[in-house]
Amino acid sequence: MKLSTEQFKHDFEERLTSKFAIELAKAGAQEKYGALSSVVKNYYSSIWAADNHYKDESNKKQAYYFSIEFLPGKMLKSNLLNLGILDTVREGLSDLGIDLDEIALEEPDMAIGNGGLGRLASCFMDSAASTGLPLNGNGIRYRYGLFKQKIVDGFQVELPDSWLDNGNPWEVRRYDKAVEVCFGGEVWLEDDGEGHFIPHYQNQERVLAVPYDTPMVGFENTTVNNMCLWRSEVPKDLDLRFQNLEYMNQTAMLSSELYPNDSDYNGQLLRLKQEYFFVSAGLQRILHHYKATKQAPITHISDFISVHINDTHPALCVAEFMRLLIDEYRITWERAWNITVKVMSYTNHTILSEALEKWPEEMVKSLLPRLYQIIIEIDRRRTAELLPKVGAKLVHSTRIVKDGQIHMAHLAIIGSHSTNGVAKLHSDLLKDVELHDFYLIYPERFNNKTNGIADRRWSQIANEPLSKVLDETIGKKWRSDLKELKLLESYKEDDATLQRLQEAKYEDKVKLAKLIEERNGIVVNPTALFDVQVKRLHAYKRQLLNVFHIMKLYFEIKENPTADRTARVHIFGAKAAPGYHYAKAIIKCINEIARLINNDPDIGDQLKVVFLENYNVSLAEVIIPAANVGEQISLASKEASGTSNMKFMLNGALTIGTLDGANIEIFEAAGYENGFVFGLTKDEVYDYYKNSNYNSRDIYEQNPLVHRILDAFVDGTIPNISAEGQQIFDSLTTYNDEYFVLRDFNDYVRAQEALEKCYQDQKAWTQAALMNIANAGHFSSDRTIREYADDIWHIKAKK
Ligand code: OAK
């Protein structure tokens, strides 16, 4: 949009007065943020309304992304950037003596997601709008987002994330679009005399679902999509004589809290309720909108909408859509099923068995009696149809209902026309191993969509120094088409460019060093090698491997404090699920090791260890640009894709990583010589499983360095970790090291040594960094979302 600095200043001051009855000189940061966000909302609102009108009139197909998590972070700068007014607003505010970066701090992170899955959903929202694709989000408006992490005495403590306390300037409550979602009670079918069975219900619990719409503003275009988040409320006409206080509380609780488990499933009733709640509400709204805006009959709906099931949490979409078509719109089973399979598509985000949702039949039956009937019928019909075609073994292994449980992934695959993994390796594993039996039956449904990132946030917003160097070296086209970064390759031998890249990195490191000093009281040297691992704390991600290598460095320095070494700063950020004791033990150990090393005068500046608490999107925006090295060290086969690996690459960090997830595609794109690969391959891992011949105790007994490091966890070398150290020690020696940490340790050390050697040659290092940046184009989520649009949803971009 077009906006002059003068116009902006006028709008801003006027809004301060009209909204807060205050003049600029007396306004606090909250008020300034309130006025600014309100002005920005005003700027995009007419574009939003016009785009809604266009979508209704143009009759084009739209897709809906159903996700139990979204993780957008802050929206202010992203909205400003996408509207094309970031520089104007920064300048206007500066004229008024206000620093945009300071006001931006007032916005709480919107963290209604845990990690990878939720962040990907938000990258997709940004990219869809920015590429002009009509994709809408559908989720839950949790009153409390992902907990705030505090580190107290080295331990993780969880505090509530009350992110809505000061309101949310971006959202629009649309009470007129509220729908009812019902739970429990009894249901029976009665023949209506025309061959249709009509369900009758009694004793149902009714919940009102109220939508809150948040605009997803496209980058320098006229597309504004919608992220619809549902809040649960008590229906206004509820007869309180028949309801009790507990019901009222339960109803409000439904959209109260995000479950803080990442890649894990913990089978609680409230979670199942949440899943049905946003699924039913979202589908009802889609159908209402269809009826209100389309002339076509409901049987044509698959020409106009696509519904995407983001992992299994929204898998009830399959059964609920069937229910709505059959019960509400009186469509026959066969037609409804054909439509449903055409409309639905599904992404799998993990192969970890603990994440595969299976709900007890009894629970589904009592909470969702009509859906239960439908699921049973889907399963029965499919079994009857497939038995003669594929045989009992395949039918049985792929059944939706078996052993008293409802298998949500099976429901999602069977009820949709597309199943995809999120990186090549992961998609192959789904086909060849994890979902092989489904692949045998439905080979045409399986495909890969390698993840991507919303590059504008991770470069233009988060890394201004680098963005400036890029502009001045290859021009500005990369800002709207990340593939343009490839032009950078021809500057690989240009000393001036290499110098400028180094200077930009240094500036980012100074900024992070300042934050580390402010938050942790640790002074780090920005010329040191910044080695970063930021992601959820999970055993399979193997933060321990990193920790063991740090212990090795510590021992070496203690033995020879005056040797000439590369100074290193190891930076961690990680939240552990509150009930995941092992992960919390690792956090405690990292903090105690940090305390030990950072306070040892022998060690000095040679090695620092920093754990930054409350890792979230905003913190990532400061940490990742400053990294020299990104740690992507999961056990091969376990990390479906990873997306922080792409953010590091784009910011010129070199990857030390296993051949896992999207790391492989990153190494291929940047060149294996521009990263550091180590560790078992997925085939080697599967061979160990097949032959059951891994023995971690042997490694502990036979490798003196491993022995010494592990002993440090239990012999007092690392103070204050008696229980936690023991737990880790036992997991690796007595319980056979589930994620092969000890097996990969030597090779990891080798890769770390190669990395350190390379860092000593700053020219070679910066050239490798340049190659990473130049080849990051493929990992834009603009590319990914276009692939979904073309191959799965068949939706078209606005011209
Ligand atoms: C969360 C809950 C259940 C199942 C999977 C997840 C999840 O976050 N998975 C992560 O998804 C990311 C986006 O596709 C991937 O990059 C991560 O590798 C994967 O762990």
State pLDDT tens for residues 607-626: 999 999 999 999 999 999 99
- Is the Cβ–Cβ distance between 647 and 707 less than 8 Å? no
**117 CB near ligand 1 (under 6 Å):** yes
What's the angle, vertex CA 84, arms to CA 78 and CA 90, rounded to 5? 75
**642 CB near ligand 1 (under 6 Å):** yes
The owner of tokens 């029965």 is 380
Closest atom, ligand 1, to C-alpha of 120: 13
The catalytic residue positions are: 349, 535-536, 541, 643, 647
Distance (Å, rounded) from C-alpha 233 to C-alpha 225? 25
Mean pLDDT of the chain: 97
State pLDDT tens for residues 322-340: 999 999 999 999 999 999 9
- Is the Cβ–Cβ distance between 41 and 108 less than 8 Å? no
**652 CB near ligand 1 (under 6 Å):** no
Nearest-CA neighbor of 272 among 284, 254, 286?
A: 254
State pLDDT tens for residues 697-744: 999 999 999 999 999 999 999 999 999 999 999 999 999 999 999 999
If you measure from the C-alpha of residue 352 to the centroid of ligand 1, how many angstroms do you get, rounded to a whole number?
10
Distance (Å, rounded) from C-alpha 204 to C-alpha 441? 38
**113 CB near ligand 1 (under 6 Å):** no
State pLDDT tens for residues 300-326: 999 999 999 999 999 999 999 999 999
Residue 551: in which H helix or E strand, if any?
Answer: helix 543-559
Closest atom, ligand 1, to C-alpha of 265: 3
**639 CB near ligand 1 (under 6 Å):** yes
Nearest-CA neighbor of 286 among 259, 314, 312?
A: 314
**69 CB near ligand 1 (under 6 Å):** no
CA dihedral sign of residues 290, 296, 298, 303: negative
| 447 burial type by CB count under 10 A (0-12 exposed, 13-18 middle, 19+ buried) | middle
pLDDT value of position 194: 85
As a whole number, mean pLDDT of residues 564-576 equals 98
pLDDT value of position 788: 99
Query: Long-range contact list for 747-752, CB < 8 A, 24+ apart?
Result: 747/678, 747/679, 748/545, 748/549, 748/633, 748/656, 748/678, 748/679, 749/549, 749/552, 750/678, 751/656, 751/676, 751/677, 751/678, 752/549, 752/656, 752/676
Crossing angle of helices 704-712 and 543-559, rounded to 10°: 100
Site to substitute for ligand 1 among 65, 120, 263, 542, most atoms within 8 A of C-beta: 263
pLDDT value of position 102: 97
pLDDT value of position 723: 98
pLDDT value of position 249: 79
State pLDDT tens for residues 425-476: 999 999 999 999 999 999 999 999 999 999 999 999 999 999 999 999 999 9
If you measure from the C-alpha of residue 632 to the centroid of ligand 1, how many angstroms do you get, rounded to a whole number?
14
Residue 243 has pLDDT above 70, yes or no: no
**311 CB near ligand 1 (under 6 Å):** yes
CA distances from 498 to 281, 490, 510, 670, 673 (A): 53, 12, 18, 17, 18
Of the CA atoms within 13 Å of residue 562, those in its CB half-sphere come to: 0
pLDDT value of position 248: 76
- pLDDT category at 236 given cuts 50, 70, 90 is confident
- Is the Cβ–Cβ distance between 129 and 220 less than 8 Å? no
The owner of tokens 């006027």 is 14
**637 CB near ligand 1 (under 6 Å):** no
pLDDT value of position 242: 63
Q: Which residues contact 641 (CB under 8 A, 6 or more apart)?
A: 116, 349, 422, 423, 426, 450, 451, 661, 662
Residue 649 has pLDDT above 90, yes or no: yes
pLDDT value of position 799: 87
- Is the Cβ–Cβ distance between 288 and 282 less than 8 Å? no
Residue 576 has pLDDT above 70, yes or no: yes
Q: ipTM score of the complex?
A: 0.98
As a whole number, mean pLDDT of residues 672-684 equals 98
Q: What is the DSSP string of 184-218?
A: SSEEEEEE-SSS-EEEEEESPEEEEEEEEEEEEE-
Distance (Å, rounded) from C-alpha 207 to C-alpha 371? 17
Q: Which domains does the chain have, with CATH numbers?
A: 1-58+80-106 (no CATH), 59-74+109-451+785-793 (3.40.50.2000), 455-681+744-779 (3.40.50.2000)
As a whole number, mean pLDDT of residues 208-234 equals 98
Q: Which tokens belong to 136? A: 């809408």
* Ligand 1 atom 5 nearest Cα: 263
pLDDT value of position 241: 67
- Is the Cβ–Cβ distance between 732 and 743 less than 8 Å? no
State pLDDT tens for residues 363-379: 999 999 999 999 999 99
**451 CB near ligand 1 (under 6 Å):** yes
If you measure from the C-alpha of residue 570 to the centroid of ligand 1, how many angstroms do you get, rounded to a whole number?
25
CA distances from 100 to 103, 132, 512, 713 (A): 5, 28, 19, 46
* Ligand 1 atom 16 nearest Cα: 642
If you measure from the C-alpha of residue 125 to the centroid of ligand 1, how many angstroms do you get, rounded to a whole number?
17
CA distances from 547 to 346, 516, 587 (A): 37, 19, 10
**350 CB near ligand 1 (under 6 Å):** yes
Distance (Å, rounded) from C-alpha 211 to C-alpha 597? 51
If you measure from the C-alpha of residue 350 to the centroid of ligand 1, how many angstroms do you get, rounded to a whole number?
6
If you measure from the C-alpha of residue 93 to the centroid of ligand 1, how many angstroms do you get, rounded to a whole number?
39
Q: What type of residue is 184?
A: G
Closest atom, ligand 1, to C-alpha of 313: 3
Closest atom, ligand 1, to C-alpha of 261: 2
CA distances from 28 to 16, 21, 98, 108, 170 (A): 10, 12, 11, 16, 20
Residue 250 has pLDDT above 90, yes or no: no
Q: What is the pTM of this model?
A: 0.98
Site to substitute for ligand 1 among 114, 274, 350, 541, most atoms within 8 A of C-beta: 350
Distance (Å, rounded) from C-alpha 626 to C-alpha 766? 14
Query: Long-range contact list for 398-401, CB < 8 A, 24+ apart?
Result: 398/437, 398/438, 398/441, 400/375, 401/361, 401/375, 401/376
Closest atom, ligand 1, to C-alpha of 347: 14
Residue 245 has pLDDT above 80, yes or no: no
pLDDT value of position 484: 98
pLDDT value of position 246: 79
Closest atom, ligand 1, to C-alpha of 119: 13
Distance (Å, rounded) from C-alpha 620 to C-alpha 362? 42
Give, as one character, the DSSP assignment of residue 635: P
If you measure from the C-alpha of residue 642 to the centroid of ligand 1, how many angstroms do you get, rounded to a whole number?
8
Nearest-CA neighbor of 207 among 186, 229, 184, 189?
A: 184
Q: Provide the phi-psi class of 542: left if phi over 0, else alpha when psi is between -120 and 50, else beta.
A: left
Decide: helix, strand or coil at residue 399.
coil
Residue 238 has pLDDT above 80, yes or no: no
pLDDT value of position 222: 98
State pLDDT tens for residues 143-175: 999 999 999 999 999 999 999 999 999 999 999
